[in-house]
Structure 1
Amino acid sequence: MTAYRKTLLIMLAVFAVVYAAGALFYVQQAQHDVQRELSGAVALADNLPAPHRLAAEVVPHLRHLEPTPSEPGADGSAADDVSDRESVPIWFTTLIGADHSAELSNGWRYAPADEAEEIWEGFLLISVSYAIGMLLCFFVLRQMVAGAVRTLSSLEAAMQAVANGSLTSRLRRQPVQELDALASHFNAMAEALESEQRTVSRLMTELLQLQDREREHIARVLHDDLGQYLTGIRAQARSWVYDPQLCEGKKQQARELAQHCETMQTHFRHLLHDLHPLVMEQLGLDGAIQHLVEQWQRLSGLSCHLNLGVALPELSGEQQTHLYRFLQEALNNISRHARASSASLAVTTDSIQLNIEVCDNGVGGADLDRCSGLGIRSMRERARCLGGQIQFESLVGTGTRIRLAVPLLESKPLVGGVV
């Protein structure tokens, strides 16, 4: 039940109780008035002569008195009494005790019809006035409740917007002090949340940048130091194979050592590529994406159809890193969790944005948008750093589709291709 309907029912019940109490008091007062008029009519009849001894024009103007039917001239008065009684409901005359006449002295009788009519007219006037006042109160109440409900509806919409991530929602000043205080508190809360979000976003961006710099540093140290040592050990082992002073057993050990070094170098190159994609510096963004897909297919054993647009935009080095890491994390999630047999990756552009779509035919899952896994969170942060909007579409048994839309301001196209 809405707040207005609930308030309306409560006010209607209050008005009904007040009206019933007022009507009860009015009826009691009316009964008292009827009895008082009866007493006055008895006293007046005792002091008046018989109706036929008075002037004919005087008898009709006497209040609450009329000749008895046996008196001359009583027919017309009786007819008037019946006509008066017909204008007042019978239940009302019965309720106030004005439904019967009383025989008095000197040929007079008590006729309360005109008193009942006056009481009835007063009752109608009070009832109509009360109804008009009640309607006015309901109208004013409706206007006040409608204003409050509008404010609450605006608050609800603003809170829903905040829940959806739009922390820029604000409420206008309100004419009612209490509602204005509520709006002010909400605006202060939204501003605090927006400030905290900016702080968290800045810290997350700096953390990702630091992570990428550390990865790059570690990759270069491994490549320049450990990689060179490993290459030297392998070359030394190869030279022992051709040393005539060594026996065949030692030469076999040298061959095995060289093979182990080659295996270590292969895994070492994969590790270096995961830490820092040097291929992006050598081949550019489109070449790095093609190399990523080829390497992922070799390591995962799954097939992946790659569609690169013919005019990829020119991005900054930081943006390219974020985009590459986003695609890397998306493909790794497929090989680790999707239980898919194939995947597809499309990177295309239009006049306003860069569009990325990663799909698989795996098991899928529900509520992927609310997933708090490290990979999903990493993709969200990368998308935020790119200024894009990410969308997850996944149902159990139908696979997963990840869409990323990155707005483009001033970009220059690069040549891409299709694999």
Structure 2
Amino acid sequence: PTIQLLIARANEGGGYVRYLWEKPSSHTVAPKLGYVVAIPNWGWVVGTGIYLDDVDAALEKIDNQVSGHIHKTMLLIAGIAILSALVVALSGLLLNVSEHRVADAKLKQLAQRVVRSQEEERARLSRDLHDGISQWLVSIKLQIEAAVIRLSGTPEQAAAAKLSVERTATQITDVLAEVRRISHDLRPAILDDLGLAAALEHLCQEWSSTASTPIAFHAGAQVDTLSGVANTVLFRIAQEALTNIARHAQATQIDMQLHADAGHVTLEIGDNGIGFNLDQIDDHPKRGIGLRNMVERLEAVGGSFSLRSSSEGTVVTARIPHSTAPVYPHV
């Protein structure tokens, strides 16, 4: 019947035929798909076929191989993803460590600068005490000792002793004035009593009267919100800026503004002097000391410093956040 089925299909014009046939390899009957075609001139029927279980086995083998490749590929992708995540995490850790090292180095440098500034301030105070008050006190002591001796002498000596005591009283007045000056330089009382704006206004008034350079001062609202340390920093910067103007600027007018916004208190000091080349500051170390002092003081309280200069004048800008804690409490 199978042969007849194949011949019938071939005589019908040929085509596929599904039938059962014995497999030579296993001698078992298995489904087979054949294709037959007739050759009328020769009276032949030609055909070929394939056992379907062999096809199923081949497809299953291919499926298993593909599944294995997919599994290996997924494992490889997962491994690459995990390795990439580890690399990113390690890079972030190394970057964080590097940033911490840089920050620590900057803090150490800042600490050294603060200590150096403190030592310079102590040295200046020591010179003021030694060259001024100390010599006055020695002179007063000698005059008092001489007056005590003269008081027990002749009337002429007693009169000379009186004059010596009067001179001593004048010198004591000078000593008191010098003590007040040093105290004001260390920390003006008005800064604690009335705040930063009043202290800067008083500084401008004193400067205008002694330096003969008019200063226009303006203070906005909400400018007395900083800590005592931050107020001292801005006051010192104002003093340093005015000193630099007096030494180098040849200015005839100075403008000082203190104002606040939502995040910062800003101090701006400008003059109409001759200005200078910012790129040449490093070539003049003495001239750059004051600027470095300003920068270091601001860095100690988390502030920022900017400087603009041209032939038409110079503008110094110092900004300190409202909420700031000093890196080092003594600035």
TM-score interval w.r.t. the shorter chain?
0.5 to 0.7
Partner of 2:229: 318
* 1:323 to 1:394, Cα distance in 2 relative to 1, 3 A: same
Gaps of 5+ in 1: 1-172, 411-419
CA contact (8 A) 1:215 1:276 kept: no
Give the CA deviation at 1:190: 6.1
Q: Find 1:204's aligned residue among 108, 113, 119.
A: 113
Amino acid at match of 2:296: E
Of 96, 99, 104, the residue aligned with 1:195 is 104
SS across alignment from 2:106: helix
Distance 1:279 1:215, change over 3 A: farther
Q: TM-score scaled by structure 2?
A: 0.52
Question: Quick check: which one's strand share is greater?
Answer: 2
Partner of residue 379 from structure 1, selected from 294, 311, 316:
294
- The match for 1:153 is none
Structure 1 position 363 matched with structure 2 position 274: yes
Give runs of aligned pairs for residues 179-328 of structure 1, distance below 5 A.
192-205=101-114, 208=117, 245=155, 250=160, 258-328=169-239
**Deviation string, structure 1 residues 282-309 (Cα, Å, up to 9, x no partner):** 3332332222222323332322111122
Say yes or no: does 1:405 pair with 2:295.
Answer: no
Superposed displacement of residue 370, structure 1: 5.1
The answer on whether the counterparts of 1:390 and 1:403 sit within 8 Å (CA) in structure 2 is yes
Q: Which runs of 5+ in 2 are unaligned?
A: 1-82, 325-331
Tell me the residue number matched to 2:305.
390
| C-alpha deviation, 1:331, in angstroms | 1.2
State the one-letter code of the partner of 2:236: R
Residues 347-395 of structure 1, C-alpha deviations (whole Å, 9 max, x = no match): 1112221111001111100116955521110000112123222110001
Rounded to whole Å, the distance in 2 between the matches of 1:247 and 1:350 is 69
Number of residue pairs aligned between Structure 1 and Structure 2: 225
Q: Could you say if the C-alpha distance between residues 211 and 315 of structure 1 is closer, same or farther in structure 2, counting changes exceeding 3 Å?
A: farther
Offset, 1:323: 1.8
Distance 1:282 1:409, change over 3 A: closer
Return the alpha-carbon distance in structure 2 between the equivalents of residues 379 and 368 of structure 1.
18
Q: Deviations over 1:95-132 (max 9, x none)?
A: xxxxxxxxxxxxxxxxxxxxxxxxxxxxxxxxxxxxxx
TM-score (norm 1): 0.42
RMSD over aligned Cα, in angstroms?
4.8
Deviation digits for residues 112-156 of structure 1, max 9, x if unmatched?
xxxxxxxxxxxxxxxxxxxxxxxxxxxxxxxxxxxxxxxxxxxxx
**Counterparts of 1:292 and 1:215 in 2: how far apart (Å)?**
24
Which residue of 1 is the match for residue 57 of structure 2? none
The verdict on how the C-alpha distance between 1:264 and 1:357 changes in structure 2, with shifts beyond 3 A counting, is same
In structure 1, what is the equivalent of residue 59 of structure 2? none
Q: CA offset at residue 248 of structure 1?
A: 11
C-alpha contact 2:277 2:309 (8 A) present in aligned 1: yes
Who is 1:103 aligned against? none
- Which 10-residue stretch deviates more, 183-192 or 304-313? 183-192
Partner SS state of residue 244, structure 2: helix
Checking the alignment, whether the CA contact within 8 Å between 1:215 and 1:275 is kept in structure 2 is: no
